[in-house]
Amino acid sequence: MKIAIGSDHVGFILKEPIKKWLIELGYQVVDLGADSEERTDYPIYGKKVADVVAKNEVNLGIIFCGTGVGISLAANKVDGIRAVVCSEPYSAKLSKEHNNTNILSMGSRVIGLELAKMIIKEWIDAEFEGGRHQKRIEMYK
């Protein structure tokens, strides 16, 4: 399982420990920046992660900004991307099972590291259920 991660300067503080944790769990991680807390712009990283997910170069993407909102909006502009902002695990799990989300977004100003790990675990482990949900996803277009 290959996972692309990205953040702006605010999300960086969550991205770094999450990257380490994902690698420890055995995932292949592609870090597309940012590389520090130096001020930058979240759309750059939202689009970078979305591009590699949309091209199937990785299986999933995980992104961070202050709220998770801005970077997810940028990611969702890329065709084929279904990015969800989550601050609790239930929505994360259901977003995969029903909406087949391929990018998970979280806010470093909203949640802490341990909750982020819980959300990510539920999301990665959940599987899309297809069926009636597939039909609805096709209706997004």
Residue 72: CB minimum distance to ligand RB5, A? 8
Residue 137: CB minimum distance to ligand RB5, A? 25
Tell me: is residue 39 an annotated ligand-binding position: no
Tell me which residues in 65-84 interact with ligand RB5 (CB under 6 A).
65-67, 69-70
Task: Give the orientation angle of helix 113-125 with respect to helix 12-24, to 10 degrees.
Answer: 50
CA 99/CA 101 separation, integer angstroms: 5
Q: Give backbone dihedrals phi and psi of 115, rounded to 5 degrees, phi first.
A: -70, -40
Q: Which stretch binds ligand RB5 (CB under 6 A): 60-68, 89-97, 118-126, 132-140?
A: 60-68
Q: Which of 98, 115, 128, 133 is catalytic?
A: 98
Q: Which is nearer to ligand RB5, 11 or 93 (CB)?
A: 11
- Angstrom distances, CA of residue 72 to CA of 23, 88, 132: 23, 16, 25
In the annotated binding site for D-ribulose 5-phosphate, the residues are 8-9, 66-70, 99, 109, 132, 136
